[in-house]
Amino acid sequence: MTARASFAPSPRQQAWRRFTNRVMAVVLLACALTVMAPLFLVLYYLVREGATSLDWSFFTQLPKPTGEPGGGMANAIAGTLTLLAMAAAIGVPFGIMGGVYLAEYGSERANDWIRFTADVLNGVPSIVWGMVVYALLVVPFKTFSAYAGGVALGLMMVPLVMRTTEEVLVLVPQGYREAALALGIARWRIIVVIVMRTALKGIVTGVLVALARVAGETAPLLFTALGNNFWSHRLSEPIAALPLQIFSYAISPYDDWHRQAWAGALVLMALILIVNVTVRVLSRERRFT
Amino acid sequence: MADRIQPNPLIPPAAALPAAAAASSREPPAEVAFDIADLSLWYGSRQALYEVTIQLPARRVTAIIGPSGCGKSTFLRALNRMHELTPGTRMTGRLRLFGQDLYSPGVDPTHVRRRVGMVFQKSNPFPTMSIAENVLAGLRLNGVRDPALLRERLEQALRMAALWDEVKDVLGRPGVSLSGGQQQRVCIARALAIEPEIVLMDEPCSALDPIATAKIEELIRDLRTRYTVIIVTHNMQQAARVSDRTAFFYLGRLVEVDETRTIFMKPANPQTEAYVSGRFG
Amino acid sequence: MKRFFDAELETFRSQLIRMGETAIEQVRAAIRALVESDAALARHVIAADDQLDQLEVMIDDEAIRYMNLRAPIASDLRLVIVGMKASHDLERVGDEATSIAKRAIKLGAEPPLKPYIDIPRMATIALEMLRDALDCFLQDDEAKAIAVCKRDVEVDNINRQLYRELTSFMVEKPDTISRAIELMFISKSLERIADHATNIAEEMIYLSKGTDVRHTEELKKTGKPVA
């Protein structure tokens, strides 16, 4: 008997191995499909229930008074976009600059604390954010407002953008910073023109992901923006938003409103899908490694 | 054979025979670029350089050799204050560039680095910039705007880096689209464009193939006419080929520095001899 | 691909060639000084030996420097090594020429023993051998180098014949002894010059083929190289 023969599995062992391989492959495939199933179910449901309600009037008309059929969510869509713009105005600059500080400046220990704080804030329930902004911006001014809603969403964005910005900046190889320093370029210029430009796609991706996340938040808006059945003419007034509108329609007793809620949910989902696809396209755009 | 012999034109009269000499002894003695005394450097509590005293001549190529961890890169970085990027470094001793103390309190490290340029081991052209933008980065980002001056420096730097003919028609292409050797030459052009007085090179060829290496070595020999070059290399043949003087470092100390020819032929220190003949390191 | 230090090798080659030309000229001048009893020419030859000595030092120095700093491989390495060896042979040739010149001065003071026939004949062959050996350096001609090695026998034969002649002279007429001895030394010098030419030819074969053919009997007798 040669040494080679003693290491080779017997035919019975080989058959058992093949069988086990196949079984596990099937099991794993099933698990993967199970994980993906909810997404497809949600999309299917949304499309089935909401697609029929998506007509021109949905996008252009205000909600009709209670009980009347018809109407649309034009103000909610506009409101969501307005709130996102305000959130971005707060979340983007502070988040990015915070990320830059963490990646480029600061001491090891202080930065650890800052990161810890940011991670905790990322986990704070969104309703708590709403309550905080309610206490700070709604109660003193005695009015719900778009400002408050924008601030609440913006504050939620800050730690998120800060962490993602820091992560992509840290990925920029140290070699570029050194090379730029060796040319006698001032530090802040290096960070802006070289480091951030190199990481730009990552930063934009981080901002878009954060926007998509806060776009769907309902709880903080409950105490701050409140919602509005009409157009808001000033930002110091309550403003409509898609999640709020979907919420109030879904718990109402009217079928018509239920139908519109599905449509609103579908629009919201579409918005988020568009953002994610954009993120994907941006990430893939690499002409050279 | 009966005719009167004429003096053979091939044989010059005895007095005219040129003396056998290496090129450096035919040139005038060099002025001193770096005057370094008792340079010691610590990373936190670990001492990396021990009282290094050396003079580096101007417009010559000085090679710094030694086994890994001997402090040669640390020493190189001390020459343009790049070691200050690492937190916790501490330095004592005196380091003068053409008579000026580089570490005196009033001196801005950024200005030091404009006089003392550096080329790194791994070529690192900025990925978001074209070839032209890369070469001019040092100028533009330091406030130079005049387009005529920029164009002139661009061509000058690329010519000195022996790259002008290869890239002059594709200056708009991304810097990272070139081959490894070309990228390294872009980095050299980038360092030269700001017209430093000194060019430091930290193992510039270690990531390159032999042909690219040979081109860069030739380039280093050409740079010598205008710049002072200090090159750290672990490749002793390279040090022998390109440098006029060689300094041998071991465990953070300067063991010996002399003309390259002497270091490789009859070094004074037995440690130097052991290293250059490959017995350790 | 051209390396930036290739010029050094070119300089080395031309120095070697120059040394060869100088050596040949020295021998030619020395023999002429003898044949024409030209003491002034002989003194010129003796003084010019310095150049050959200096060239040998230069070539050796440059060879060592090149090997040290450029780490030559293959044919470059062979060139440098052959250069060192050939320069030694050529320096010895120069010394022999000087010796001939000194004896030419001594002999010029006295009437010639007999007409100079054999010595110029030996000299011609020896000079042709030197010239051919040097040409191999320029042209890479193995056949020529082998021919040089073969011709050494001719010079040896003439030398032996001259010895016999001079010995009988000395026996018959004792007052010719001092002149005969000088001529025997000159003949010996020429025989040695031919040996050096053979050495150089063997070195040229090594340079072009990488084969060491020294001390191989086959080469001397049949003229075929040993692979």
pLDDT in tens, B204-220: 999 899 888 999 999 99
pLDDT at residue B14 is higher than 50: no
Q: Do chains C and A touch (3 or more CB pairs under 8 A)?
A: no
The SS3 assignment for B81 reads coil
* B241 chain-C contacts, CB cut-off 8 A: 4-5, 69-70
Does the beta-carbon distance from A183 to B191 stay under 8 Å?
yes
Compute the distance between CA of residue C181 and CA of residue B43 in angstroms, rounded to an integer. 82
Confidence grade of residue B157 (pLDDT, cut at 50, 70, 90): very high
Q: Which residues of B touch C (CB under 8 A)?
A: 1-2, 5, 8, 10-12, 14, 17, 20, 22, 211, 214, 217-218, 221, 237, 240-241, 260-261, 264-265
What tokens were used for A106? Answer: 């600061």
What pLDDT does residue B135 have? 95
* C48 chain-B contacts, CB cut-off 8 A: 11, 14
Compute the distance between CA of residue C32 and CA of residue B5 in angstroms, rounded to an integer. 8
What pLDDT does residue B263 have? 93
The H or E element that residue C129 is part of is helix C118-139
The arithmetic mean of pLDDT across residues B67-91, rounded, is: 91
C-alpha pair distances (Å), B49 with each of B71, B82, B202: 6, 15, 17
Across chain B, what does the average pLDDT equal?
87
pLDDT in tens, B105-152: 999 999 999 999 999 999 999 999 999 999 999 999 988 899 999 999
Provide long-range contacts, Cβ within 8 A and 24+ apart, for A66-73: A66/A254, A67/A254, A69/A256, A70/A256, A71/A260, A72/A260, A73/A240, A73/A242, A73/A245, A73/A260, A73/A263, A73/A264, A73/A267
A235-A240-A243-A247 Cα dihedral, nearest 10 degrees: 140
**Residue tagged 């990552």 (tokens):** A202
Does residue A178 sit at the B interface (CB-CB below 8 Å)?
yes
**Chain B interface, best mutation among C1, C2, C4, C6, by max B CB count within 10 A:** C4
Backbone torsions φ then ψ of A30, nearest 5 degrees: -60, -40
Complete DSSP assignment for B103-166: TSTT--HHHHHHHEEEE-SS----TTSBHHHHHHHHHHTTT---HHHHHHHHHHHHHHTT-HHH
A181-A186-A187-A192 Cα dihedral, nearest 10 degrees: -110
pLDDT in tens, B217-230: 999 999 998 999 99
Query: Under a CB-based contact definition with an 8 Å cutoff, are residues C83 and C61 in contact?
Result: no
C-alpha pair distances (Å), C93 with each of A152, B218, C98, C116: 101, 40, 9, 21
Average pLDDT for runs of 10 along chain A of length 289? 68 91 96 92 86 80 76 84 92 94 89 94 92 91 88 94 95 93 92 91 91 89 85 84 88 85 88 86 63
pLDDT at residue B9 is higher than 60: no
User: Touching A: which chains, 3+ CB pairs < 8 A?
Assistant: B
What pLDDT does residue A72 have? 80
What pLDDT does residue A61 have? 80
- Angle at CA of residue B63, ends B60 and B65, nearest 5°: 170
Q: Do chains B and A touch (3 or more CB pairs under 8 A)?
A: yes
What tokens were used for B90? Answer: 């501490």
* C47 chain-B contacts, CB cut-off 8 A: 14
Does the beta-carbon distance from C25 to B261 stay under 8 Å?
no
C-alpha pair distances (Å), A234 with each of A62, A82, A113, B2, B204: 17, 11, 39, 122, 62
What pLDDT does residue A171 have? 94
- More confident call, B1 vs C130: C130
Provide long-range contacts, Cβ within 8 A and 24+ apart, for B239-242: B239/B63, B239/B65, B240/B264, B240/C68, B240/C69, B240/C70, B240/C71, B241/B217, B241/C4, B241/C5, B241/C69, B241/C70, B242/B61, B242/B63, B242/B217
3-state secondary structure chain A: CCHHHHHCCCHHHHHHHHHHHHHHHHHHHHHHHHHHHHHHHHHHHHHHHHHHHCCHHHHHCCECCCCCCCECCHHHHHHHHHHHHHHHHHHHHHHHHHHHHHHHCCCHHHHHHHHHHHHHHHHCCHHHHHHHHHHHHHCCCCCCCHHHHHHHHHHHHHHHHHHHHHHHHHHCCHHHHHHHHHCCCCHHHHHHHHHHHHCHHHHHHHHHHHHHHHHCCCHHHHCCCECCCCCCCCCCCCECCHHHHHHHHHCCCCHHHHHHHHHHHHHHHHHHHHHHHHHHHHHHCCCCC
Compute the distance between CA of residue B93 and CA of residue B103 in angstroms, rounded to an integer. 9
Low-confidence ranges of chain C (pLDDT < 50): 226-227
Backbone torsions φ then ψ of B116, nearest 5 degrees: -120, 100
Q: What is the pTM of this model?
A: 0.78
What pLDDT does residue C189 have? 96
Confidence grade of residue B16 (pLDDT, cut at 50, 70, 90): very low
* A198 chain-B contacts, CB cut-off 8 A: 126-128
Backbone torsions φ then ψ of B206, nearest 5 degrees: -70, -20
Burial class (CB in 10 A: 0-12, 13-18, 19+), B89: middle
Does residue A171 sit at the B interface (CB-CB below 8 Å)?
no
- Angle at CA of residue A42, ends A39 and A43, nearest 5°: 85
* A193 chain-B contacts, CB cut-off 8 A: 141
Compute the distance between CA of residue B18 and CA of residue B12 in angstroms, rounded to an integer. 10
- More confident call, A57 vs B154: B154
Q: Which range, A214-223, B82-91, B185-194, has the best average confidence (pLDDT)?
A: B185-194
Closest CA to B254 of B119, B33, B93: B93
Count the Cβ atoms, other than its own, within 10 Å of residue C173: 12
Radius of gyration of chain B (CA): 22
Confidence grade of residue B12 (pLDDT, cut at 50, 70, 90): very low
Closest CA to A241 of A144, A176, A100: A144
Confidence grade of residue B252 (pLDDT, cut at 50, 70, 90): very high
Does the beta-carbon distance from C69 to B241 stay under 8 Å?
yes
pLDDT at residue B4 is higher than 60: no
The arithmetic mean of pLDDT across residues B233-239, rounded, is: 92
Does the beta-carbon distance from C62 to B214 stay under 8 Å?
no
Closest C-chain CA to B214:
C3
Compute the distance between CA of residue B194 and CA of residue A264 in angstroms, rounded to an integer. 59
Count the Cβ atoms, other than its own, within 10 Å of residue A182: 27
What pLDDT does residue C225 have? 52
pLDDT at residue B5 is higher than 70: no
